[in-house]
Amino acid sequence: MPLRINDEAPNFTAETTHGPITFHDWIGGGWAILFSHPKDFTPVCTTELGYMAGLQQEFDKRNCKIVGLSVDPIDDHKKWAKDIEETQGHAVTYPMIGDPELKVAKLYDMLPADAGVTSQGRTPAQNATVRTVFLIGPDKKIRMSLTYPMSTGRNFDEVLRVLDSIQLTAKHQVATPVNWKPGEDVIIVPTVSDEDARKKFPGGWKALKPYLRIVPQPRE
């Protein structure tokens, strides 16, 4: 069965460029991004990991750890990291999982079921599904997942935006509208009655429809 939002993120033990980790223990009490890429020493992946390295401080501010994954061995990750820093201007300081036996990739449904048992002899086409992102909460549940095709680099600014939205809406009884950005107006969720909304949002709201109530973003 594919993993869905609110499923518990499968736990695993794996080797990384920072040494072995047990995933749930590594997450601890914070948030985490697990993202995979098709192959080391490839052009799109090089830009992605470099950009993510540039965003790491922003994720740190939000108490969110980052870990990358591919089916390449750890030694390749370490060698490739030099190319990433040289070409993208950011050093990869987050851990990168080596998954040559496809254990984590299959656990997270990143590959077809008939993908084989190791990364040896695999073609680029067989790796095409390995460009995924999982956002995992402190409760170890999956809060968001994305899968991109091999030819399309991901928008990690969007991943950061989703994290901001999820953290905000987990704390307040609101939802974020289309193309929302931090600081913009939000929506009171339908499960909050007008009576309760008056207590929670004493400044009032703009009702476009009874079910569409717009309020300024709550302050932390």
Helix axes 43-61, 74-88, angle to 10 degrees: 80
Angstrom distance (rounded) from CA 143 to CA 93: 24
Angstrom distance (rounded) from CA 111 to CA 126: 8
Length of the chain: 220
Side-chain-side CA neighbours of 37 within 13 Å: the count stands at 25
Which of 102, 84, 92 lies closest to 14 in space, CA to CA? 102
64 is catalytic: no
Q: Which of 9, 45, 96, 133 is catalytic?
A: 45
Residues marked active site are found at: 45
